[in-house]
Amino acid sequence: IFSDVTLSLFSIVLLHPLVHNVILLGVTPSYRAYLVSVPRKIMAYYSPIHSMISAYLSMIYLSEEEIFIWKIGHLVIFVCSSILNVVSLFCLIKKTPSEMVMMRNYLLLMQVTVIVNGFYMDVLFEPVLLFPAIAGICTGLLCRPGIPLTPVIGGLMLTFIWFGLAIFMCCFYRHQTLMPDSAKLGK
């Protein structure tokens, strides 16, 4: 059961930038209205990624060809999330309603952390998991020159912590704006 949990968590980490952008673009009515006028071809990339990931996560040994397919999968995820990141940044900067101006800064911080996290995960780190064994290899740009794995994973953890802090700041700001002035935890 542990490998199933690890596989689920890896899928969440790998696809998090895509899901974050879809939620951001789908929840705000002004962004949704803008995106309805744009062709819906962005979403066409998702179905091949899911089938490719599910086909290769159950192997212990990966040949050079299979690692190449993983790298292509990371590239496809990076391209899709980059397109969605550009659309999200455009909507945050140009299409934000006037009543969301203060919240926009926190959402921009979250969006920047998603971009950094996605770039680090899909280009610099590029993990390839070897399931059902609890193991993996790193094939990204930071793993090629012989950099020890500890600082590479440390950088990945820093991007996760940075994103968690951005989420906390956004939620704390929302909390403080909803609290009445007379409340103990209010402004």
Range of the domain at 13: 2-178
Q: How far apart are CA 36 and CA 157, in angstroms?
A: 36
> Among 125, 30, 148, 130, which Cα is nearest to 74's?
125
CB 134 within 8 A of CB 6: yes
Overall average pLDDT of the 55-71 stretch: 67
pLDDT of 135 over the 60 cut: yes
Residue 187 lies in a domain: no
Residue 186 lies in a domain: no
Whose tokens are 């993996």? That residue is: 136
> Among 38, 54, 116, which Cα is nearest to 82's?
116
- Top-confidence residue, 19 or 96: 96
Residue 183 lies in a domain: no
State residue 50's pLDDT score: 44
Give the global pTM: 0.64
Dihedral sign, CA of 135, 137, 138, 144?
A: positive
- Neighbour count for residue 100 (Cβ, 10 Å): 14
Residue 60 lies in a domain: yes
Residue 118 lies in a domain: yes
Overall average pLDDT of the 66-81 stretch: 85
Q: How many residues does the chain have?
A: 187
Residue 44 lies in a domain: yes
Q: How far apart are CA 20 and CA 28, in angstroms?
A: 13
Q: How far apart are CA 138 and CA 144, in angstroms?
A: 9
Overall average pLDDT of the 161-165 stretch: 88
Domain count, the chain: 1
Lowest mean pLDDT among 6-10, 17-21, 27-31, 87-91: 6-10
Overall average pLDDT of the 35-56 stretch: 50
Overall average pLDDT of the 70-82 stretch: 87
Residue 81 lies in a domain: yes
pLDDT of 71 over the 50 cut: yes
Q: How far apart are CA 143 and CA 125, in angstroms?
A: 7
CA dihedral 19, 22, 26, 32 (to 10 degrees): 180
